Amino acid sequence: MDNFSVTQFRRDMEAVWEIPSLLTSEYFGANVQNWDIEEAFYKEFKKIFFEFLQTEFLFSEDNKLLTDFLKSRFSHRLGRYYETIWEFIFMHHPRVTSLKRGLALRDKKSTLGEFDFLWFDTNREEVNHLEVAIKYYLYFPDKELFVGPNFQDRLDYKLEKLQRQIHLSELEQAKEFLQDHLRINPKAIRKNLLIQGKLFYPHGFDPSGINYLNPNHQFSFYYYFKEWKDRKSGQDLSGSTNNRNQYMIQPRLEWLSDPTSNDWKNRGKNIQENIHELQTRHDKGELGILVSELDENGTLNRFFVLPDSIPQFP
């Protein structure tokens, strides 16, 4: 996806409402709200937004205002794309005014942090600070670590950063900035977190014992390449594979929503083509690769395939 497709954007925008939080509501403490677990607020917000969508003709491919907005926000980074989805939602939500995205807090020497979103909720008549993140992590039980598929990121590091970010308004420099420049009382800010995504475990692993995770979080599994190849490419006595499923490797900007029937028609591959593509990508240095599999019954599975040799953990 070389730029934002309006059709893909709408599909992804609808999909984010269905992805549960990765964490329990208690993880960050009583004065921070886990937005989608705080059901009354999140569900009311969702209901109003979709009612609003039904009355607006925003999503035609020739809507210049929308296409110009998407072009101006284009990024190859999934996290930035995810933020753009929420920016668009807030821009067009009847409860939201005075929206700020990516508001940096600086002193004379450095950047102290950044507010993902600040906005005024006209229904509750209060200012909201929302930190958002979309993350896909692989769990390694022997290390008790969640690691990003490129092995440059870890969940514990991300949570430490979010702990700092969500309390940014409590810094003295932030208090002065918010009061003097935005006329916001820092003590009246409602702190919200939305950490969505999917976690991937070794095949057959039971994640229920990890107590800081939302028990309803989305998860799947990962395989090492040889394990995956041996599992899926079994051949009969004639040498023909007995695997009739379809496979697809999608770019990161397509990870939020499931492939469509047209995607499968145009880009679906058989098992041998999939194995060849995985081997080629691993040989070129790619690490965790997300694979979508559509079986003969129409059931979709998504999982990561790792090279047989992985790097050291970050």
The model's pLDDT over 234-271, given as tens digits with 9 standing for 90+, comes to 654 444 566 889 999 999 999 999 999 999 999 999 99
CB 192 within 8 A of CB 131: yes
Contacts 24+ apart (CB under 8 A), 168-172: 168/105, 168/112, 168/113, 168/114, 168/115, 168/129, 169/115, 169/129, 171/105, 171/112, 171/113
Domain limit, last residue, from 142, 172, 202: 202
- 79 assigned to some structural domain: yes
Q: How many CA atoms lie within 13 A of 39 on its CB side?
A: 0
The residues near 73 (Cβ < 8 Å, ≥ 6 apart) are: 4, 80, 84, 87
CA angle 221, 223, 228 (to 5 degrees): 125
Q: Are residues 103 and 181 in the same domain?
A: yes
pLDDT (tens digit per residue) in 86-143: 999 999 888 899 999 999 988 877 888 899 999 999 988 999 999 999 999 999 999 9
Q: Are residues 48 and 129 in the same domain?
A: yes
- What's the pLDDT score for residue 170? 92
Alpha helices in 167-307 (DSSP H): 172-181, 225-232, 261-267, 271-283
Domain limit, last residue, from 139, 174, 202: 202
42 or 223, which is more confident? 223
- What's the pLDDT score for residue 24? 87
Mean pLDDT of 182-211: 92
Q: Are residues 124 and 41 in the same domain?
A: yes
Mean pLDDT of 2-24: 85
